Amino acid sequence: MLALVLFSIGTVAAIELVPRAQAGARDGEYVLLATYRAQECLETLRNSTYASLTVGGDMSGVNGCGTSVSELPSATRSVTISATPYTNLRQITVTVSWTPPGSGSTNVAVQTYRSGV
């Protein structure tokens, strides 16, 4: 009888872990997709001309850098081009933000530098 009670408690505990594991896998997938989409845009911008990287410019029209990311829930992508203290050097930051069901907003940001030399 005692063995049956212990077995039941262990089974219920293991069953309760399944939804948590699924949520963790879903969150990991979202981070992976967001990082991929940010990196995709960043590579496009790294291969563009330095003159097209204007500080504060709108990069949403660049192929691969649009504002929507269809694979993620309520996702947006933004690109920031910033000046640096050095001549002919721009900082490029791509941020992908999304809101998973039942959670607050989450984001992934990747950045690089592009030289005009």
Strands (E), 64-116: 76-83, 89-98, 106-115
pTM (predicted TM-score): 0.79
Domain boundaries, the chain: 2-115
> DSSP label at 14?
H
Strands 106-115 and 89-98: antiparallel
**φ/ψ bin of 33: left (φ > 0), alpha (ψ from -120 to 50), beta (otherwise):** alpha
Rounded CA-CA distance 106/86 in Å is 32
Cα separation, 37 vs 94, in Å, equals: 9
pLDDT of residue 33: 93
List per-residue pLDDT tens for the chain, 117 residues long.
777 777 777 777 777 777 666 666 678 888 999 999 999 999 988 888 888 888 988 888 888 888 888 888 889 999 999 999 998 899 999 999 999 887 788 999 999 999 887
Residue 57: DSSP 8-state: -
C-alpha–C-alpha distance, residues 98 and 34, integer Å: 8
pLDDT for 9: 79
Instruction: Give the C-alpha separation, 92 to 71, whole Å.
Output: 23
